[in-house]
């Protein structure tokens, strides 16, 4: 296991030197954020970022993420231009020593929550998804802004996107994902770059938009679209685990045994009684609905040697900044995870 940590660049209040102080920290997970989606990341930008990370004594081996342009997801005639740019990004990142690219194929929105700063019983704040709040939201309201949403669209553009995806449907989205994979995976193979798709978060349709990377049968279907070790998963325990139809230890066991998990996001969620709503919680198994010890045990059993990062954390001890991405709770999560791993290692001897 290679422990890693998400970092949002020089403007991130979490400093690289603080991340380095977390025991066994191996690498930084980051990206270039000032290049428009679909455009080529120039080598000088990539190398500047690499140098900044390596100067802090950390590895530059995972990018999260290289976003997929909406025209690719929709299968528009312009998609081939953006796919060629994507291939160039794979090549450029490989030249810089990157080993894994995390990406997603979610229409319009990435991860969606209804509230950023819900105060939990212990006084910390966390990201939550409450069904009653989501049901009241109008995604075509130009004033609406929630985490994971691209706020650059106008109300009119958003309405057009919704209509296009309604016409496309799930099978159309699958078809466009297959087209994309068949174009990029051969480039990934040549460049020894492992592509790791992130599951949809949450793993069900949002506002009628299709979502397809959601459950075991769909993960199987995805991996079979291009049966290559370079076509793999970012298995996010929280994204898949907020749906009670997903058995996370079983999924982790199955896909790590196959060698198709290239990147693990480990976090916990507390599922609520309505079967849809959930709260993000501390990583510790007793705080949420997921058994993190069991998850780590199956990774260890299958000799997982890929990258793993503690994912969204609570905001604790008065820390401010990007919700879910404070230093303190993610550092606690990292220590909890490595403590489990060390125990498993020693029990093996």
Query: Of the residues 265, 283, 329, 336, which is catalytic?
Result: 265
* Nearest Cα residue to 62 out of 273, 306, 336: 306
Cα–Cα distance for residue pair 251/248, rounded to 1 Å? 5
Query: Of the residues 102, 236, 242, 287, which is catalytic?
Result: 236
Do the Cβ atoms of 19 and 60 come closer than 8 Å? no
By three-state DSSP, how is residue 255 classified?
helix
Is 26 annotated in the active site?
no
Residues in CB range of 146: below 8 A, 6 or more apart: 112, 113, 114, 137
Query: Of the residues 103, 165, 198, 262, which is catalytic?
Result: 198
Is 311 annotated in the active site?
yes
Query: Of the residues 103, 230, 255, 325, which is catalytic?
Result: 325
Is 236 annotated in the active site?
yes
DSSP string computed for 62-124: EEE--PPPHHHHHT-TTHHHHHHHHHHHHHHHHHTT--EEEE---SSBSS--SEEEEE-TTS-
Is 69 annotated in the active site?
no
C-alpha distance from residue 310 to each of 51, 103, 290, 337, 343 (Å): 23, 17, 14, 8, 18
Query: Of the residues 129, 312, 329, 336, which is catalytic?
Result: 312
The catalytic residues are 198, 236, 265, 311-312, 325
């Amino acid at each position: 296991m290679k422990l890693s940590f998400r970092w949002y660049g020089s403007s991130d209040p979490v400093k690289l030197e603080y991340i380095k102080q977390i025991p066994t920290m191996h690498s930084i997970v980051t990206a270039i954020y000032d290049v428009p989606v679909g455009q080529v990341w120039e080598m000088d930008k990539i190398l500047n970022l690499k140098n900044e990370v390596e100067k802090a004594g950390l590895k530059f081996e995972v990018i999260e993420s290289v976003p997929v342009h909406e025209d690719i997801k929709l299968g528009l005639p312009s998609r081939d231009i953006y796919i060629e740019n994507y291939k160039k990004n794979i090549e450029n990142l490989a030249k810089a020593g990157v080993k894994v690219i995390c990406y997603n194929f979610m229409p319009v929105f990435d991860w969606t929550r209804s509230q950023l700063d819900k105060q939990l019983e212990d006084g910390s704040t966390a990201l939550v998804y409450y069904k009653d709040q989501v049901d009241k939201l109008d995604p075509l309201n130009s004033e609406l802004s929630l985490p994971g949403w691209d706020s650059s669209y106008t109300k009119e553009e958003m309405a057009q996107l919704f209509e296009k995806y309604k016409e496309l449907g799930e099978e159309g989205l699958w078809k466009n994902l297959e087209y994309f994979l068949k174009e990029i995976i051969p480039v990934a193979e040549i460049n020894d770059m492992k592509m790791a798709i992130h599951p949809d978060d949450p793993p069900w349709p949002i506002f009628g938009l299709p979502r397809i990377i959601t459950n075991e049968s769909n993960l199987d279907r995805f991996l079979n679209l291009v049966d290559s070790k370079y076509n793999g998963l970012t298995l996010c325990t929280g994204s898949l685990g907020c749906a009670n139809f997903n058995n996370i230890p079983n999924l982790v066991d199955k896909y790590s045994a196959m060698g198709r998990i290239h990147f693990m996001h480990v976090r916990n969620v507390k599922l609520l009684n309505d079967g849809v709503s959930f709260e993000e919680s501390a990583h510790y198994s007793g705080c949420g609905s997921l058994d993190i010890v069991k998850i780590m045990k199956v990774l260890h059993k299958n000799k997982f040697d890929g990258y793993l990062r503690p994912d969204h954390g609570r905001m604790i001890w008065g820390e401010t900044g990007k919700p879910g991405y404070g230093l303190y709770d993610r550092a606690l999560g990292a220590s909890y995870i490595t403590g489990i791993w060390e125990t498993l290692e020693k029990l093996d001897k």
